[in-house]
Chains A and B, each alone.
Chain A
Amino acid sequence: MSLQAFLLLASALFSVGLYGALSQQSIVMIMMGVELMVNAVIVGAAAFWFHTSPDRPDGQVIVLLAVTAMAIEMAVGFAVTTAIFRSRDVDMTDMAADLKG
């Protein structure tokens, strides 16, 4: 249960989430990808706290911060999705590409 092992897990979660964010068309699915990345952050922060600075609370606070951030991002995400769904009846990013150039 070394630090490297945790970090590998975090890297894997981060990459999987990144893949999702990059490849998904549905807004909600993209948000899921982003959440997986937050998951990685949580794991990483906890691991670093444990292995490098258990005497300081910073690592723990980061986890809390990440969780809150995730919640906030999700709430806004849903609101944005609602707004765009209402205004143009889509929930795919590909269909919202009028602004370009």
Chain B
Amino acid sequence: MVLWLLVAVPVMVGVALAVAGRRADRLAPAVAVGTGTVVLALALWAAMARPAVSAPLLDRLPVGLAVDGLSAVMVVTVAAVLMAVLVFSASEFGARFFGLVLLFAGAMLVTVTATTMTALLMSWEVMGATSYALIGFWWRDENRVASGGVAFLTTRTADLGLYLAAGALLAGGSGGLALADLPGIGSGWRDVAAAGLVVAALGKSAQLPFSFWLSRAMAGPSPVSALLHSATMVAAGAYLLLRVQPLLSATGWAAVVVAWVGAVTALVLGAVAVVQRDLKQLLAASTCSQVGFMVLAAGAGGVAAGTGQLVAHAATKSLLFLCAGVWLTALGTKDLHELRGAGRRYPVVGISFGIGALALAGVPPLSIWFTKDAVLSSALHSSAALYAVGLAAAAMSGLYAGRALFLLWSPSDREFDVERRVPRLQQWPLPVLAAGAAVLGVVFGLGDSRWWEAVLSAALALVAVGLAAVATRGAADVVDGRSPVLSAWLHLDALAHKGVVALTVALAGWLARFDDRVVDGGVRVASGLGGAVARVADARVDWSVDRFVQWVAGVTRGLGRSARRPQTGQLHHYYAQAVVALAVLALLVVVFGRG
């Protein structure tokens, strides 16, 4: 029952707020924060009580929810980040926003507690749709709405994998579509299910090659980004892979693929992050990169390590996005160069951001240093190459985190055009999250990594941060604009547009013209028998049922005319026709009619 409450409370309050709309704007922040508190309490309780519930949905396919070790961590993380985001947003947004956020969080809670495919798929898709609404929250700007569309469509493309997995699971012999059944189904279907799940997870987590949607998702409000990039949505993919890790290892190939995709994403998107000039874009790319570590962990079998990374990253990234949001609203920009010195201007925000950035860089003893090392160690278990790539990616995080940090803290003498006070409510969550980003790693520990690995990565992180400090010294920013390809997120967006969207639209247009020409052509045919006959005589005429129908109509028209031709009004014609017809009939019967 409590578990039902945990997911139902945010969803129902969310729907109520969204439907109420403007009328509830004044009450909404309070209601939302109150709900957030309740959710947090319920999450904590659930994490301890580990309940499991189930309700019938489809024919012998129930909806099942349960909290186990993995999801206990997740529900608490989600609830905590949600709480932070709600408090942060309380001063700025109305009912619709809170409604959507709560709905979104509710969907995420279902996702992480789902034990059956039905529950997972439903929440998974609702999360995608809600993210669309949140990213395109400022709907008067068509660009933002389009960004939401890109996010939704990209993730939905990947979600098809989940549908595939569900079907495969059933076809493979799992009567109830329980996720736990996955490793045990027939081997052919197991591969299909694994492939589907991997695609779905990679899409949601914005791993290569789906990463571009996350860049577009920056069009949404900053709190949305904070939520999206930390404990929900993007994390959901990684979570799913961790959840089905037994399946991945059971197939043999899936684990390897996942591990490598994670590692490569961590490295490449890390590099992308390094050259970004827009703070939010930098953070977005870093998200892909960091989630890449979680994916890597799932592929390499380090479930605990991945989970730790997830939680630590959630705290860190939500913090960083909220900080970025503060500056964006206060200073009206997210350009790193224009933000030079912003950290000094708003010390609370600046210091919180600093802690977060250092954590992100993997500087010991902050949280991500722990968790990343745990991940890397599990990678080393499976392959040295994987470890090396992971290490390189870790260096990248040092570079970009350091760059952001130093740019924001470097002294600047310029005045900001717009300057506003930061509301209290927006400041409160920041230190809390910063604390989390700093200390959470201790909870998870270093996993089973050996001492030299930890030292190596710490050194690497410090070196990278140092390099970044050098690179951004003074007014210079040596990496700025160095690699257009990396700046533009490898042109993945354009590639997807050209390769898939444009192709589909062209095909659709062609088909529609075909369909229209069928209709219009038919009308033309009907307008004159001559045309019809000509077209029929034309061997190149493209056949279609509709045109056939029209052709029949045209021919019938002609036949109708000829059928009336005997009716000349002249009696002797009638006579002759009747006599000849009777004679022909007699001949026919005599020749063919042997009774």
Contact = CB atoms under 8 A, between A and B. Distances in A.
A22 B570 contact: no
Contacts of B576: 22
Interface stretch (B105-113, B538-546, B561-569, B586-594): B561-569
Contacts of B572: 22-23, 25, 93-94
B568 A97 contact: yes
B496 to A, nearest CB: 66
Interface string A82-101: 00000000000110111111
A70 B572 CA distance: 21
A100 B571 contact: no
A97 B579 contact: no
Contacts of B568: 97, 100
B570 A93 contact: yes
Contact of B569 (A22, A23, A25, A99): A99
A93 B579 CA distance: 18
A21 interface: yes
B575 interface: yes
B575 A21 contact: yes
A100 B579 contact: no
B567 A100 contact: yes
Contacts of B571: 93, 96-97
A18 interface: yes
Interface in A51-101: 93-94, 96-101
Nearest to A99: B569
Interface in B513-571: 564, 567-571
B575 A98 contact: no
Given A18-B579, A21-B575, A22-B579, A94 B567 contact: no
A97 B574 CA distance: 11
A98 B564 CA distance: 15
A101 B570 contact: no
Contacts of B564: 101
B575 A94 contact: no
Contacts of A93: 570-572
Interface in A19-52: 21-23, 25
Nearest to A96: B571
A97 B571 CA distance: 8
Nearest to B564: A101
B569 A97 contact: yes
A100 B569 contact: yes
B579 A101 contact: no
A101 B569 CA distance: 7
Nearest to A93: B571
- Which of B564, B567, B572, B576 has most A Cβ within 10 Å? B572
A21 B576 CA distance: 9
Contacts of A21: 575
Contacts of A100: 567-570
A22 B575 contact: yes
A89 to B, nearest CB: 18
B567 A101 contact: yes
Nearest to A25: B572
A79 B250 CA distance: 105
A37 B575 CA distance: 14
A98 B567 CA distance: 11
Nearest to A27: B571
Contacts of A99: 569
B530 to A, nearest CB: 21
Nearest to A94: B570
Contacts of A94: 570, 572
A11 to B, nearest CB: 13
A23 B570 CA distance: 12
A21 B572 CA distance: 8
B517 to A, nearest CB: 36
B583 to A, nearest CB: 11
A100 B571 CA distance: 10
A3 to B, nearest CB: 21
A44 B571 CA distance: 28
Interface of B: 564, 567-572, 575-576, 579
27 contacts: A18-B579, A21-B575, A22-B572, A22-B575, A22-B576, A22-B579, A23-B572, A25-B572, A93-B570, A93-B571, A93-B572, A94-B570, A94-B572, A96-B571, A97-B568, A97-B569, A97-B570, A97-B571, A98-B569, A99-B569, A100-B567, A100-B568, A100-B569, A100-B570, A101-B564, A101-B567, A101-B569
Interface of A: 18, 21-23, 25, 93-94, 96-101
Shortest Cβ-Cβ A-B pairs, 4 listed: A100-B569, A97-B569, A93-B571, A97-B570
